[in-house]
Structure 1
């Protein structure tokens, strides 16, 4: 059977850069799914993407499906023939449908009966017969939120499509998609390449593209952009400031990347660098350059899509483009400084946070009160925390933040320092938004931590308090992110805070604005639920999390201490036996409805095994009192692991459910004592076998 390489390329108008990679990978995935469903074998599949094209290459694809035999079961023999042995209408209809005579039918015998059977030979279809359906289906499933029409076509796609190249080896496979008939023609670079270029063989695609000034391989183009950015920055002894997202967006804007260096007037450097960086990156897709001390340079890099014979003209054009954007930032900054943050507080009354929860000024005052309360628990300055909470949202009313929303908090810090607010307050205005994403830094100052926690808790309690819980992937107030941020701050900074207490305080501050009476319980459960997900992401095993969650510790720092202790305990040799013993104890106590500690009478402990266990439990309880008070759960579980031998001996030699009720109750009380000591840390019975 013939095997060859398949190429499919859609030539389009410029595709949305932020969607390019997703479109390309989805296209490849959909083609792969179509080939798999058609049972066409292949060795590998690759995707290519550039601003004006999406392409897929399938390696060593079978030209034809394998022939196969399809078994078609007919009616039961008992229903296929009448009393005279003549075929019934049902049997004749089935035979006709399969193109055979009844006499040609085979029999399928099973333990449930006998049926007519036809084994039909089904020849495999060729790639020529199958590909149009596979391609059409693949295109229909692309994630395109707003398709468009063009020209006189009735078809729709994310952008107008001009070429459709489909090659199997050197053969053109005739298909029709998006109103186009396939051929072996592609378009090169819009300015430096040619239109209607012939691709002789599927394997020639990348080479032909490069001759046409197009690097079609997205990964190769992205890597080239990165290498050239780093090279240009190194030559200037500066550091290129970009992340993966900006790098991929730039690579999605150019087919033939050429990195050039430009500059702007040094007077603009008086504006906070974050605002300048924001406008360079987000508005222009330029790459800022930083000095070795982290300060912004007046030079920057940009990636052109052409290899110009006069680069100076291209550089000059880009310098002219950036100047008015930087001038706007400078104007906004200077205008904002004429008014203090405090003077903007009243204007927050004109902006709703949420209809039922009031304005941003209301939120600011709530944050201030809750920040001071938290500060009192973490040894931070309460007055500074209140002041920072009060000013937390004031920079949202500045010209700079209204124009460049991503610099909220950053500009608050600069304006606070300009207003001679304390440094702790200024830092808190920026750090209130931390962490912004997974792995992001945390607030570095106690006052900042108090404000960050207050802001997040106020949002959680408020939105839950009016019954707008997140559902599915809908989370308009980013409550999941707020919960994870809150947990990270408390647990990683080891703050002595309790979720129950914080929620109670936040609910009290809201007073009568909240209508959901289950708000307190729901918020705590929601946050703890995020904790489970966060810990799983950190590699903690599910059974360890479940064991700790069973105790429902609401102090995140305490929760983490328990997690570490149980993880350490689980690695001990005695852990499996003790987990099993705890499970046995839990089952016995549950069956007998023992829910509270009974008094143990030492005189009723007749067996030496129960006497030994009682003695060791009493000793351990006394020894561990200090460790329990200090939440030193590792010490607690390590010490309890030493009870393994006496626990095993107890179950081997003592009958708990004896006929003597007094002795039975005494033994149940002993088991309750054992269970309670382990439950100080976690429900060890939930640990899975190693």
Structure 2
């Protein structure tokens, strides 16, 4: 069997930069799967992606499919022949469909009977006859939301296609993909090598393109950009804050990256750095420079797609482009400062939050009320929290935030300082949006936590209160994200708050606006339900989470302590036996007609194993209760783990359902006592 390197490249117009990496990886996975599914052996797979191409290089690909023996089972022998041993119509029809006679069929004997069998050898087809179809199918399976159609044909793809190259070693494989015939001509750099270049061997793909001013490997191009940025930043006396998403996007925009440094007027530094950074990154894909203290410098690094003979002209061009954007930010800032945040609050009446729940002004009033209540629960300054809640949305109607929505909150903080509001108010205005995404920072101040919690509660209670519960993928108000953020703040900031109290406090702030009578229970259940995906992301098994959920603790910090205690308990040697015992106890008690008391009559104890278990229960209960006084669930479960041997001995040697009613009830009480000891923490009977 012949083996060689396979190279597939699709040359296109500029591909969407944010989707490029994912498209490339998926294309490679799809094609490799096509080869595997069709018994074409292959080695390592490498994908390539630039703005104008998707490519795959696969090592040691077999030139032909493996030959296969296909077995086709026919009717059973009982059905295939009549009483005289003659073939039935069923047997004859099956044989005819396989191109044989009945007497040519083999027999398949199993413990369930005997069947007719036909074995056919299917010769493997050459790669050259299959590849174009494989590539076409791999491309059709790409996640392309809005495909384009170009020219006069009906071919669709994410961008117009100009070239298709299918190379196997030094052989060009003929075929047509997306309406384009395979050829060994590759697109070169749009400016440095517009004439393109010929590929002579699949192994020479990277080197061939590099000679045409194209770095095909995404990771190599990204590393080159990182190195260029670092060198430029050092030369300018600054540093670049890490931004993986921006690096990926810029890598997807260029084929021959060259890093250069440009500057802007120092006067723009009077504007808060956040909107300047937003416009440089989001609008221009620049990398702003900061000093060691995190202060913005009047310089930025940018990546150009050409190696210019006169880089100064390229630098000047980029400086001209960014100047008006920075000037806009400066104008908005200076204009916004003339109007105090407090004066902007009434303008929020014209911004709708939700038709049934009122305006953003109404939401701000509720946030202020609830934030003050939460701050009071936490022993913090409720006036600071109330003031911050009242002002927290006011920057939404500022010119800066209208132009740069990403700066909401942070501009509110700057404008609050400009208005001489208390520093705690300014900080809480910024912090109330935190966390904005998974892994984001949390509020650092208690008033900031109070306003953040109040904001998230307002959305959760309000939307649930009018019956618009998130379903499936539909979550227009991002309630799942709000719920996770709320839990993270409480747990990670170790705040002594209960979900019941918080939901009740928020519900009161709505007056008679809410229509759902079950809103309180619905929101609490929704919040408790968010614990499962959160802990699963941390690697905690589902049964551990379910064990705690079964007890429904509504204080998030308490919930967290229980989860980690059960996770630690689950690793103990005694855990499996005790979980099984608890499951057995739960099943026994569930079959009883009425609840069982936990009072044990020592005079009714006779078997040595039940006497030992009761003694062990009393000792473990003392140690567990002492640990529980300090919410030390790990210590409590460790104390209860000592029950494993006496519990096993009890079940092995004692009949719970004794004939004597009093003895039977007493033994049931022992089990109830055992069960309730564990249920103080979690229902470990659900542990696997």
What TM-score bracket applies, with the shorter chain setting the length?
over 0.9
TM-score normalised to structure 1 length: 0.95
- 2:412 corresponding residue in structure 1: 412
Gaps of 5+ in 2: none
- 1:546 corresponding residue in structure 2: 546
Q: List aligned pairs for 1:254-653, cutoff 5 A.
A: 254-595=254-595, 597-607=597-607, 609-618=609-618, 620-621=620-621, 625=625, 627-652=627-652
- The answer to whether the 8 Å contact 1:289/1:296 transfers is yes
Q: List aligned pairs for 1:127-206, cutoff 5 A.
A: 127-206=127-206
- The answer to whether the 8 Å contact 2:574/2:644 transfers is yes
Closer, same or farther: CA 127–623 of 1 in aligned 2, 3 Å: closer
Q: Which is worse superposed, 460-469 or 199-208?
A: 460-469
Cα shift at 1:506: 1.8
Closer, same or farther: CA 370–93 of 1 in aligned 2, 3 Å: same
- 1:672 corresponding residue in structure 2: 672
Closer, same or farther: CA 82–649 of 1 in aligned 2, 3 Å: closer
Q: How many residues are aligned here?
A: 688
Q: Deviations 1:118-170 (Å, cap 9, x if unpaired)?
A: 32221111112111211111111111111112222321211111111111111
- The answer to whether the 8 Å contact 1:609/1:654 transfers is yes
Task: Name the Cα RMSD after superposition.
Answer: 2.2
Q: Deviations 1:259-310 (Å, cap 9, x if unpaired)?
A: 0000000000001001100000000000000101110000110000000000
Cα shift at 1:237: 2.7
Look up the SS of the partner of 2:72 in the other structure: strand
The reply to whether residue 51 of structure 1 matches residue 61 of structure 2 is: no
- The answer to whether the 8 Å contact 2:188/2:209 transfers is yes
Closer, same or farther: CA 407–92 of 1 in aligned 2, 3 Å: same
CA–CA distance in structure 1, aligned partners of residues 177 and 388 of structure 2: 60
CA–CA distance in structure 1, aligned partners of residues 147 and 646 of structure 2: 72
- The answer to whether the 8 Å contact 2:371/2:385 transfers is yes
Cα shift at 1:580: 3.3
Q: Which is worse superposed, 250-259 or 86-95?
A: 86-95
CA–CA distance in structure 2, aligned partners of residues 607 and 433 of structure 1: 63
CA–CA distance in structure 2, aligned partners of residues 638 and 91 of structure 1: 69
CA–CA distance in structure 2, aligned partners of residues 650 and 165 of structure 1: 74
Closer, same or farther: CA 581–346 of 1 in aligned 2, 3 Å: same
Closer, same or farther: CA 620–6 of 1 in aligned 2, 3 Å: closer
CA–CA distance in structure 2, aligned partners of residues 408 and 36 of structure 1: 50
Cα shift at 1:369: 1.2
CA–CA distance in structure 1, aligned partners of residues 186 and 652 of structure 2: 81
- The answer to whether the 8 Å contact 1:242/1:288 transfers is no
Q: Which is worse superposed, 470-479 or 361-370?
A: 470-479
Cα shift at 1:522: 2.4
Cα shift at 1:78: 5.3
Cα shift at 1:92: 4.6
- The answer to whether the 8 Å contact 1:548/1:562 transfers is yes
TM-score normalised to structure 2 length: 0.95
- The answer to whether the 8 Å contact 2:620/2:642 transfers is no
Closer, same or farther: CA 121–405 of 1 in aligned 2, 3 Å: same
Q: Deviations 1:97-137 (Å, cap 9, x if unpaired)?
A: 33334443334444555544332221111112111211111
CA–CA distance in structure 1, aligned partners of residues 121 and 446 of structure 2: 77
Q: Deviations 1:361-409 (Å, cap 9, x if unpaired)?
A: 1111111111111111111111111111111111111111111111111
Closer, same or farther: CA 611–110 of 1 in aligned 2, 3 Å: closer
Gaps of 5+ in 1: none
- The answer to whether the 8 Å contact 1:443/1:489 transfers is yes
CA–CA distance in structure 2, aligned partners of residues 674 and 414 of structure 1: 59
CA–CA distance in structure 2, aligned partners of residues 110 and 619 of structure 1: 61
Closer, same or farther: CA 88–665 of 1 in aligned 2, 3 Å: closer
CA–CA distance in structure 2, aligned partners of residues 115 and 576 of structure 1: 47
